[in-house]
Amino acid sequence: MSSSQRDKEEASKPEWTIRIATPEDVPALEQLIPLSVRTLQAPYYSKTQMELALGPVFGVDRQLILDGTYFVAVAADDIVGCGGWSRRDSIYGSDSARTGDDGLLDPRRDPARIRAFFVHPEWARRGIGRAILERCEEAIVSAGFGKAVMVATLAGVPLYLRFGYREDERIEIGLSEGVTIAGVRMSKRFASASCPS
């Protein structure tokens, strides 16, 4: 291989890598998520909506980490993106707002969940969300699920549409103080799986 070919290959490699999140990542995620929300969601939601949603809607779900279904993108030892999928009932929200058991889904009849995607504003539009979503879909199909669902933010809808998800329903998620925040229920079926849901 020539040096110019080697240089082209090196240039085409992403500046980040993706790995499974660990409990030790929680402090970094607790810093990343508000930064991502306040910057990348600002064109779609008011400051009041974002601040009230931080915590109960936009926050860390440690259950995803414990289940090994949450990914982080790492650049120079810094977490610059995150997102995952779930085999549990909750479709959005952090663990701080959850009460009771978050029961396991049955892949023979239930759809998996796509959950909690956030990217550092300085790393937006570099393929991090796309790469994490690809990893999620591979894991979902490997786990035997034939469908995935989510509640997407308005900022996230274009990415998911490009991946073949369809808009099923526009919803308003209740926050405190009588405030709501818009979300979009989306879904996708996987041809390589046999789940009837």
Structural domains for the chain: 15-92+106-189 (3.40.630.30)
Exposure string for 96-120, b = 16+ CB within 10 A, e = fewer = eeeeeebeebebeebbbbbbbbbbb
pLDDT of residue 98: 80
* Lowest mean pLDDT across 4-13, 28-37, 86-95, 133-142: 4-13
Q: Sorting pLDDT into bands at 50, 70 and 90, what band is 4?
A: low
Is a pLDDT exceeding 60 seen at residue 168? Answer: yes
* Lowest mean pLDDT across 10-24, 31-45, 112-126: 10-24
pTM of the model: 0.89
Is a pLDDT exceeding 90 seen at residue 112? Answer: yes
pLDDT of residue 105: 97
Is residue 61 within 8 Å of 33, Cβ to Cβ?
Answer: no
Token look-up 């103080």 returns 177
Section 129-139 average pLDDT: 98
Cα distance between residue 33 and residue 163, in whole Å:
23
Structure tokens at 22: 């660990």
pLDDT of residue 49: 98
Cα distance between residue 144 and residue 116, in whole Å:
21
Section 73-98 average pLDDT: 94
CA angle 124, 95, 109 (to 5 degrees): 90
Q: Sorting pLDDT into bands at 50, 70 and 90, what band is 197?
A: very low
Cα distance between residue 156 and residue 184, in whole Å:
9
Is a pLDDT exceeding 80 seen at residue 25? Answer: yes
Section 111-140 average pLDDT: 97
Is a pLDDT exceeding 60 seen at residue 195? Answer: no
Cα distance between residue 174 and residue 181, in whole Å:
7
Section 55-61 average pLDDT: 96
Closest of 123, 115, 42 to residue 81, by C-alpha: 123
Is residue 33 within 8 Å of 54, Cβ to Cβ?
Answer: yes
Is residue 169 within 8 Å of 159, Cβ to Cβ?
Answer: no
